Structure 1
Amino acid sequence: MNKTILKNIKNIHFIGIGGIGIGGIAEILYKEGYNISGSDISNNYITDKLIKLGININYHNKNNISNTIDIVVPSNSIKQDNIEILESKRLNIPIINRGEILKEIMRYRHGISISGSHGKTTTTSILIDIFIKNKIDVTFLNGGYLKNNENINLGKSNYFILESDESDLSFLYLNPISLIVTNIDNDHIRNYENNFNNILKSFLRFINNIPFYGKSILCIDDINIKNILNKVKSNFITYGFDKKSDIQIEKINKLDLNYSSFILKNNLCNYSIEVILNNISGKFNILNSVAAISLSLIENIDIDIILKSLREFKGINRRFEIIKDKKIIEKINNKNLNNIDIISDYGHHPNEILSIINNIRNIFLNRRLIMIFQPHRYTRTYDLFSDFINVLLKVDILILVDIFSAEESNTFNISSYDLYINIKKKNSNIVYYINNNEILYILNKILLKNDVFLIQGAGSINNIINSI
C-alpha cells in the first residue's frame, strides 16, 4: 500500500470537518498516522465517527489554532472571515485547499476520478462496489453512502477512487490516471465568473491532464461533452445510448422501481451482453452504471464480476432511495393509506429534479406525485429561478420549505416564498409553503391512497423528515 507523503507535515487541522468530503480526507490521513484535529459549528454523524476514532474536534474557536499546527485545511464552505482562518493567518500557518491535499493522497496511488455535474456519487458508488466484488481492497472517498458500506476506506491496494468536486474547481488539482465525466451542466457558475464557457474549459483541462497511458470515460449523450470532444487531446472512450458510443446502451429491456435490464454493446470488442441492475432506477442511472462498467473494463476487471456486482448492488442512501423504514413510513402515512410509496432523493439542480420526476412518471403510471422540496443554496435558487419554477410545476402537489443556505449569505434576499408566489401564479392548486413543524399536518391533509411522496433536496430535508 502506497501512503500519502506530506514532507515535514505532521499536525493538520481541518475547519468544517463535519462535511462528508473534508471529514473523509481527515479520516484517511488520521489512519495513515498524521495528527488530526478539527472544528465545526455542530456535531453530526461524521464528527461523532471521527471523535470515536480518536480525533479531537471542537466548535469553531481561535484557541483551536496554535503554532503546533503545520497546515490548516478548510472546507469550501468556510468563509475568509472565519475566526480560525483569521488566527491561522495571524500565526502564518499555511492554509491549504482540500484539492491540494487530495492531490497528495492520490500522488503515489493509481488515481481514478469520477466527475460531472450530476450522477457522480451514484457512478462512484457502483464503481467502488465492482472493485470490492473483485476483491480489490481499494482506497476510496465518496460523496454518499453505499447501503452496504461507508463512504470512505483506506485500502491496501494501490487504487484510489475519488468522487471529484467541480463546484470550487478543486478537481483541477488532481492527477488521476483514469477518469469519468458523466455530464457538464450550468451549476456553481458563480465560481466560474458567471461564464459557462469557463466550466467547459475547466472540464476540458481536467480531461487533458491525465497521462498519455491513462484514459477518460466520457458520456457522448451529453451535448456539452460532445461539443468539446474535438478538443480532447488525451485518450478516451465514449459511452451512452448514442450509436456512435464505444460502449453503447443498445436496448432497455425493463425499467422498474428497483430493477433495470438492458443490452450493452461493446463496439470496441464487438460483443453484446445483458446487464441487470438492482436497487437503482432510471435511464440516468443506467448511464451511470455504464460509466462504471466502462472504467472497470479498461482496468481489466472480469466482465462476469462486473455483472455480478450490478445484480447484487444494494443501492445508495438518498439517491432515488425507496424508503422502507417502518417508523418513517408510519410518520408520513399516519392514516395507513394503501399503496403509498415514499422516495428520498438528493437531487437539487432543476435538471436532476426533472430526471427524478420523469422516472417516477414512467414507473408509477396514473398516480399523484407529492413532492416536498428544500432548495439548496441562495445562489443556485437565484441563478436558476425560472428553471426551478418550470420543473416544480410538473408535480401534482408541491410542498416548499425554506432554502438550505450551506453557509451562504443571502445577498439576493431570496427565499422559498419567492418560488411559492411565482408557482402559485401559474397553478394555485399545487403549492404549499410551510414551516417544518407543519409538515405532518399538511401531509395528513393532502395524502391519498396510491400517492407517491418524494422527499427532494440536498440540505437538511431528510433530517427534518426523520425528526418530525
Structure 2
Amino acid sequence: MDISIKRIHFIGIGGIGISALAKFLRAQGVEISGSDVAEGCITKELKQMGIKVSIPHTKDAICGQDLVIHSAIIKEDNIEVQEARAQNIPVLSRKESLKMILANKEVFAVAGAHGKSTTTAILSAILKDASALIGAESKEFHSNTRALSSNRVVFEADESDKSFLECNPTCAIVTNAEPEHMETYEHDLEKFHQAYKSFLALAKICIINAEDSFLGTLEDLGNTCVRFYPSKDLHNIHYIVENNMPKTQFELICNNKDYGTFSVYGLGEHIAIDAALAILAASQILPLNEIRKNIQNYCGIKKRFDILTEGECIIIDDYAHHPTEITATLKALRKYQELTNAKQLVAIWQPHKYSRIKDNLQGFVECFEGVDSLVILPVYAVGENAIAVDFAKLFARYNPIFADNVERDGDALCLFKNNKQIARLKQGILVGFNAGNLTYALRGGI
C-alpha cells in the first residue's frame, strides 16, 4: 500500500467486510476513523479498540484524511462522500480499495458460493501467524478479523460484486462455483464462469474442488493446481461429540499423497471438504504435523452450526440460505440428532430475498426432506419487491407452521402469529436457517 497514506476514513464501517479492512489497516499502522448510519455490535467493538466512529453520517467526520473508503451500499450523494470530494480527498469503494490494500501481500484467498467462510476460518486457524479477514465472526478470536503486522493474509474473497478479482491472490482456493448473485453477471452463466477463471488465473497456486460441475472442466490454468476430489480423496469419515463439541474425523489422500488423519470442529461431509481444502492450501507452506496441531484451534464461526443451548432443547443458529447449504446442514444435523438422542428435528426457515427464492424454488421445496417439523417465517426481503409465492401449496407435504416471528424464552422458542403465541418449542433440535434477523431472536435479542 502507498506509504504516504496515513489516515483513512471508512463510510459504513459497521459492515462485516469493511470493518475487517479497517481493523487490518489499523494493525498495519494506519490511523482509522469511520461512520455508519446506526450503532451496532461491530461499531461498538471498533470504539472499544479506540477507533473514532461517528453515528450517524456527518460531514464533520471528514477532516483532511488521506483516503476515504466506503461500503457497497453507500452512494455518491452520501454527505461524507460529497464532503470528501469537496476536500479533494480520494474516494474508493471497498472493491476498488482491495488491490491497493492487499498489494505486496501473500494472500490466501478463499472463494465459492458455499463454505467459503468456514474454509477461511479453518485456514486462518492453521496459518495462525497470518492476518485473517473473514465474512463472519470466528469463535477462535471472537471477531471477523485477526489483524497482525504479518505480510501473510487469509482472505475471504467475494464473488457477489466481483471484488475477488481485486484481492491479489497468491493462493486461490475455490470451494465450489454454483451460480449465485447472478444479477452481478447480467444473469449470464458464461460471464460468471469467466470471472472464476480470471480469479484462478491471478494466483500462483490454485486449490479447487474438482467435483464441482464447472471447476472440474478447467484445464491448463497456467499455474500449480491441486485438484481435490472429495468422493475419492476423503476416507473413513466419522463423527463424534466430545465434551459437547461436535467433530468430524477423516483421512485425506489427494494426488496419491497420504496426508494422514485429521479431526476438525463441526459435523458433516461438507465440513470435511472445507477442512481438506484448507489443509491442501496450508500444506504448500507448512509441514503436516503443524497443520494437524493448528487445526485444533478452529472452534467454529458464529451462525454456522452455532449451538446456542444444550440439553433437552438444542437451539442452533445457521446461516444456510440456499438449498445446497440447507441440505448439507440438515444431513449433518440428522447425524447430530443420532449422537445426542434428540427427540425431534425442527427447521425454522426465514426465506432470504425473493430473487433467491425465485431462482431456487424447487430446490427449497425439496431441501427440507426428513425434518420432523418445518416452520416458515415471512421473507426477509432485503429491500426487494415482493413476488407472489404460494408457500402453503408448495410446501404442503411438510404440513408447515406459518409464524410471523419467533421469541426466545429461556431454553425454548415461542412462535407468534398475528401477535398471538401459537406454539412453544422446548424439545429436540431447533435450527434456524437464516441470513436475516432471525439470528437475534434465537439469541434472545442479542
**TM-score bracket relative to the smaller structure:** 0.7 to 0.9
Number of the residue aligned with 1:340: 313
Equivalent position of 1:160 in the other structure: 153
1:372 to 345, 348, 359: 348
What corresponds to 1:199 in structure 2?
Answer: 192
User: Match of 2:366, SS?
Assistant: helix
Q: CA deviation at 1:117?
A: 0.9
The whole-number CA distance in structure 2 between the counterparts of 1:161 and 1:428 is: 41
The equivalent position to 1:147 in structure 2, one of 123, 130, 139, is 139
Deviates more, 1:305-314 or 1:433-442: 433-442
Report the Cα distance in structure 2 between the residues aligned to 1:76 and 1:284, rounded to whole angstroms.
30
Equivalent residue for 2:216? 226
In the other structure, the counterpart of 2:442 is: 465
TM-score w.r.t. length of structure 1: 0.83
The residue matched to 1:375 in structure 2 has which SS? coil
Of 358, 377, 383, the residue aligned with 1:409 is: 383
Deviation per CA, 1:400-441, whole angstroms, max 9, x where unpaired? 334445xx432x3248xx4644445x3372231313469624
Cα distance in 2, alignment partners of residues 186 and 419 from structure 1: 25
State the shift of 1:267 in Å: 3.0
2:263 is aligned to 276
Q: What one-letter code is carried by the residue in structure 2 that aligns with 1:217?
A: I
Query: How far apart in 2 are the matches of 1:467 and 1:183?
Result: 34
Of 251, 254, 262, which aligns to 1:263? Answer: 251
Partners of 2:193 and 2:240 in 1: how far apart?
32
Distance change in 2, residues 1:428/1:346 (3 Å): closer
- Structure 1 runs not aligned, ≥5 long: 330-337
Shift in alpha-carbon separation, 1:89–1:312, aligned structure 2, 3 A: closer
Query: Given the alignment, which residue of 358, 366, 373 partners 1:397?
Result: 373
The answer for the alignment partner of 1:190 in structure 2 is 183
Q: CA–CA distance in 1 between the matches of 2:222 and 2:390?
A: 43
Matches of 2:77 and 2:323, distance apart in 1? 32
Alignment of 1:240 with 2:229, yes or no, is: yes
Structure with greater helix share of residues: 1
Distance 1:118 1:57 in 2: 32
Residue 236 of structure 2 is aligned with which of 251, 258, 281? Answer: 251
1:431 equivalent among 401, 408, 430: 401
Query: Is contact 1:389–1:419 with CA below 8 Å preserved after alignment?
Result: no
Report the secondary structure of 1:26's partner residue: helix
Judge conservation of contact 1:67–1:93 (CA < 8 Å) in 2.
no
Q: 1:24 to 1:311 in 2, by over 3 A?
A: closer
Deviation at 1:192, TM superposition (A): 0.9
Q: CA deviation at 1:131?
A: 1.8
2:93 to 81, 91, 97: 97
Structure 1 position 79, deviation (Å): 4.2
Letter aligned with residue 223 of structure 1: S
2:19 pairs with one of 14, 18, 23:
23
The CA distance in 2 between the partners of 1:429 and 1:467, in whole Å, is 27
Question: How far apart are the structure 2 equivalents of 1:61 and 1:176?
Answer: 33
Distance change >3 Å, CA 351–CA 85, structure 1 → 2: farther
CA distance in 2, matches of 1:11, 1:379: 39
CA distance in 2, matches of 1:394, 1:88: 55
Deviation at 1:62, TM superposition (A): 4.7
Tell me how far 1:56 sits from its aligned partner. Answer: 2.0
Aligned mates of 1:199, 1:224 — CA distance in 2: 11
CA distance in 1, matches of 2:253, 2:349: 38
Alignment CA distance shift 1:436-1:314 (3 Å):
closer
Structure 1 residues 432 and 158: CA distance shift in structure 2, 3 A? same
How far apart, CA to CA, are the structure 1 residues paired with 2:52 and 2:358?
38
Aligned AA (1:251):
N
Give the gaps of 5 or more residues in structure 2: none
- For residues 422 and 167 of structure 1, do their structure 2 counterparts lie closer, same or farther at Cα, with a shift above 3 Å needed? farther
Candidates 322, 327, 342, aligned match of 1:354 = 327
* 1:18 CA displacement: 0.5
Question: In 2 relative to 1, CA 437–361 (structure 1 residues): closer, same or farther, beyond 3 Å?
Answer: closer
Distance 1:91 1:194 in 2: 39
1:434 alignment partner AA: D
Question: Do the aligned partners of 2:71 and 2:94 also contact (CA within 8 Å) in 1?
Answer: yes
Q: 1:453 aligns with which of 407, 415, 430?
A: 430
Of residues 265, 283, 288, the one that matches 1:297 is 283
CA distance 1:114–1:428, change in 2 (3 Å): closer
Contact 1:420 1:431 in 2 (8 A): no
Q: Which has the higher strand share?
A: 2
Paired with 1:436 and 1:355, the residues of 2 have a C-alpha distance of 24
Q: 1:12 maps to what in 2? A: 8
Secondary structure class of the residue paired with 2:169: coil
Distance (Å, rounded) in 1 between the aligned partners of 2:27 and 2:426: 50
Letter matched to residue 10 of structure 2: F
Residues 114-173 of structure 1 show CA distances to partners (whole Å, capped at 9, x for unaligned) of: 1111111111111111122xxxx2222112222221321232432111111111101101
CA RMSD of the aligned region, Å?
Answer: 2.8
Secondary structure in 2 aligned to 1:38?
strand
Cα pair 2:28 2:148 within 8 Å, conserved: no
Deviations 1:90-122 (A, max 9, x none): 665433122332322321221111111111111
After TM superposition, give the deviation of residue 81 of structure 1 in Å: 4.7
After superposing the two structures, state which structure 1 stretch, 248-257 or 311-320, moved more.
248-257
The one-letter code matched in structure 2 to 1:209 is L
Q: Is the 8 A contact 2:62 2:80 kept in 1?
A: no
357-366 or 454-463: bigger deviation: 357-366
1:138 aligned onto 2:130 = yes
Do the aligned partners of residues 467 and 431 (structure 1) sit closer, same or farther apart at CA in structure 2, a change above 3 Å counting? same
2:168 paired residue number: 175
User: Given that residues 259 and 288 in structure 2 are in contact (C-alpha distance below 8 angstroms), is that contact kept between their aligned partners in structure 1?
Assistant: no
